[in-house]
Amino acid sequence: MLRNLQGVLAAAPHAYVAIDEEGLVVAWNPAAHAMFGYSFEQACGRPMAELIIPPSLRDAHLAGLARCVADGGCRIVGRRMQVNAMHRDGHEFPVELTVTVTEDADARLFHALVQDVTIGQRVSRFAAVEAAVSRGLAEAESSDVAAARVAEALGVRMGWPVAELWLADEERQVVSCTARHVRGDLRLNAFGLKELEPGIGLPGRVYAQGAPDWIPDLAADVTSFRSRAAARIGLHVAVGVPVSSGGHTLGALCVYGDRIEDPEDTLIALLSGIAAQVGQYLERRRAEELTVELAKTKDEFLALVTHELRNPLSVITAATALLDEDLESLTTEQQHEQLRTIGRNAQRLSVIASDLLDLARLEAGHVAIDPVETDLSAILGEALAAHREAAAGKNLTIVVNVPERLALHADPHRLRQVADNLLSNAVKYTPTGGTITVTAAADDNTDEIIWAVTDTGIGIPAAERPHLFRRFYRASTARERRIPGTGLGLVITRTIVERHHGSITLTGTTGPGSTFTVRLPRSKPDTTAAPGAPG
Ligand code: ADP
């Protein structure tokens, strides 16, 4: 009978542990080995309290055992209890256990059947976090408050010492820490940065890659200054997931901990779910902000109508009036000159009208991007040829550093539009005698094409750069010099690039001039396997 019982306990899914009156282990089944990390040989004869009871609970356990032994008043016998147990490697985990006592002539033994309830607790904890985030987002009166609630829900309910929400600025040149929840006793020092460049640090990397990242040992992440700073203040592991909306990555949700007990994929799934809620929230907020922005844009639109539309119209009106009144007294050449003026200005108006329409359609998603296998080098060659005359007219030098062929999956007509816009701006905003440099190359590591247009022109003041991709926005350098323009080209350009899942940035320059850098994925966005990758 006893032999049978031992067989049952050996195969049981629950850990079975028995101790004598002194608290020394006398029985220990294979499930206990798996759960606590000690084999039967390692556990047998040792005080159970030192093996599997967390230090903070040990005194209470010993006092309880002493009471049981002294007067048989075992309060815990027959009750189902939830407590924290400790693994051999020191980590604590929740267990549910029941205790029974057996007595024979010479010994009293205490038997415990123990079940690890980590997963059950995780499910309810995750549900609670998700509910707290939903509530926080629904009730928040501003984006900042919403971000703070998300970080707090992750920090407090999940017990992560640091939880952060990072969002990119409008120009996509930096990611800023919008909200950070920090455990009371932590001093962040060099770790507490507010801004990072895309690609730098965990938030910058997650944002740039648009994919989750997991750093199992921050101290070993030698490439990142921030990871080492985190390790110095006692943080060991970190997980980050992208926050996205409508196919664009907006930022990153990152948590840092002493130790993360949940499995990597479960945790990433939880964080991704929360990040999706944040993305949807930001999308809603963005729609509201757009309404406000629209009001602002209206003023800038009025400026466009006043200068860019009214000027050509008055020229056309004046020329038509002149032709009407003085047709006979004008020479044929003068008549042609007036007609050319009318044609030029009508053409200018038509460009503005088609830019406005194009932008409206692109933004509304009504224009399809038709990606095919195409060659950026050929597109750039054609665009350069089209702008050479204008550049020569200003005595500009054009330097081209582009390989013979740059294959990618994209809409060639739309890319030509991007090339035309960047080149015409470079020509327009570079004074006589300057240089325009066009470079493009494939980056095999990221499977992207990086293409840049640099000029030595009037530049854009650093303080104004964040507004550059806003509709109708024109930098002071352009306005002061009265260089005509509508502030539509770059917005159209960015929309096209983003519809190709790429990015466009104005790279910071200290001297005069500007560099616009476009990054475009080479392959179809849904193609995950690189050609020729080992299968
Ligand atoms: P537009 O040139 O018609 O005004 P864009 O949208 O193409 O419209 O450009 C927006 C603004 O960005 C311009 O008005 C100008 O102030 C600035 N800008 C764009 N490209 C350059 C450049 N290469 N050098 C200096 N400023 C530029």
Q: What is the pLDDT along the chain (535 residues), one digit of tens a residue?
A: 566 777 888 888 899 999 998 999 999 999 999 999 999 999 999 999 999 999 999 999 898 888 888 876 677 777 888 999 999 999 889 999 999 888 877 788 999 999 999 888 888 888 888 898 999 888 888 888 899 999 999 998 888 899 999 999 876 778 999 999 999 888 888 888 899 988 999 999 999 999 999 999 999 988 888 999 999 998 999 999 999 987 889 999 999 988 777 778 888 988 999 999 999 998 888 788 778 777 777 777 777 777 778 888 999 999 999 999 988 898 999 999 999 999 999 998 988 888 888 888 887 777 778 899 999 999 999 999 999 999 999 999 999 999 999 999 999 999 999 999 999 999 999 999 999 999 999 998 889 999 999 999 999 998 888 888 888 888 999 988 989 888 889 999 999 999 999 999 998 666 689 999 999 999 875 544 333 333 3
Q: What is the pTM of this model?
A: 0.51
Q: Is residue 280 part of a domain?
A: no
- What integer pLDDT is reported at residue 3 of this predicted model? 63
Instruction: Say how many Å lie between the CA of residue 77 and the centre of ligand 1.
Output: 79
Instruction: Say how many Å lie between the CA of residue 468 and the centre of ligand 1.
Output: 8
Beta bridge partners of 176: 167, 195
User: Which atom of ligand 1 has the smallest separation from the CA of 486?
Assistant: 3
Instruction: Say how many Å lie between the CA of residue 116 and the centre of ligand 1.
Output: 63
Q: Is residue 251 part of a domain?
A: no
3-state secondary structure of 52: helix
User: Which atom of ligand 1 has the smallest separation from the CA of 457?
Assistant: 24
Ligand 1 binding pocket includes 240 (Cβ within 6 Å): no
Ligand 1 binding pocket includes 513 (Cβ within 6 Å): no
Q: Which of 387, 425, 467, 515 to mutate to test the pocket of ligand 1 (most atoms within 8 A of CB)?
A: 425
Structure tokens at 119: 């997963």
Ligand 1 binding pocket includes 492 (Cβ within 6 Å): no
Strands 407-410, 213-215: pairing kind: unpaired
Q: For residues 459-472, b (16+ Cβ closer than 10 Å) or e, as one string?
A: bbeeeebeebbbbb
Q: How far is CA 371 from the centre of its chain?
A: 25
Ligand 1 binding pocket includes 452 (Cβ within 6 Å): no
Instruction: Identify the H or E element spanning 32.
Output: helix 30-36
Instruction: Say how many Å lie between the CA of residue 84 and the centre of ligand 1.
Output: 63
Q: Which of 355, 420, 490, 518 to mutate to test the pocket of ligand 1 (most atoms within 8 A of CB)?
A: 490
Ligand 1 binding pocket includes 460 (Cβ within 6 Å): yes
Instruction: Say how many Å lie between the CA of residue 228 and the centre of ligand 1.
Output: 41
Q: Give the DSSP letter of residue 306.
A: I
Instruction: Say how many Å lie between the CA of residue 29 and the centre of ligand 1.
Output: 75
345 neighbors 315 (Cβ within 8 angstroms): yes
Structure tokens at 254: 């990152």
Q: Which of 349, 460, 477 to mutate to test the pocket of ligand 1 (most atoms within 8 A of CB)?
A: 460
Structure tokens at 350: 């038509």
Q: How far is CA 39 from the centre of its chain?
A: 45
Q: Which of 427, 429, 471, 506 to mutate to test the pocket of ligand 1 (most atoms within 8 A of CB)?
A: 429
Q: Is residue 79 part of a domain?
A: yes
25 neighbors 45 (Cβ within 8 angstroms): yes
Ligand 1 binding pocket includes 468 (Cβ within 6 Å): yes
Instruction: Say how many Å lie between the CA of residue 507 and the centre of ligand 1.
Output: 14
Vertex 125 angle, CA 124 and 128, to 5°:
85
Q: Is residue 87 part of a domain?
A: yes
Ligand 1 binding pocket includes 429 (Cβ within 6 Å): yes
Domain span holding position 87 = 2-116
Instruction: Please give the C-alpha separations between residue 88 and each of 16, 33, 56, in angstroms, as whole numbers.
Output: 16, 10, 16
Strands 372-375, 248-257: pairing kind: unpaired
- What integer pLDDT is reported at residue 43 of this predicted model? 96
Task: Take atom 2 of ligand 1 and give the residue whose Cα is closest.
Answer: 485
Instruction: Say how many Å lie between the CA of residue 471 and the centre of ligand 1.
Output: 11
Q: Is residue 109 part of a domain?
A: yes
Q: Is residue 387 part of a domain?
A: no
Ligand 1 binding pocket includes 312 (Cβ within 6 Å): no
User: Which atom of ligand 1 has the smallest separation from the CA of 474?
Assistant: 14
Ligand 1 binding pocket includes 455 (Cβ within 6 Å): yes
Q: Is residue 168 part of a domain?
A: no
429 neighbors 391 (Cβ within 8 angstroms): no
Question: The domain that contains 58 carries what CATH number?
Answer: 3.30.450.20
Instruction: Say how many Å lie between the CA of residue 420 and the centre of ligand 1.
Output: 13
Q: Is residue 342 part of a domain?
A: no
Ligand 1 binding pocket includes 488 (Cβ within 6 Å): yes
Ligand 1 binding pocket includes 475 (Cβ within 6 Å): yes
- What integer pLDDT is reported at residue 328 of this predicted model? 87
Q: Domains in the chain: how many in total?
A: 1
Task: Take atom 23 of ligand 1 and give the residue whose Cα is closest.
Answer: 426
Q: For residues 48-80, b (16+ Cβ closer than 10 Å) or e, as one string?
A: bbebbbbeeeeeebeeebeebbeeeebebeeee
Q: Rounded distance, CA 198 to CA 15, Å?
A: 48
Q: Which of 464, 474, 496 to mutate to test the pocket of ligand 1 (most atoms within 8 A of CB)?
A: 474
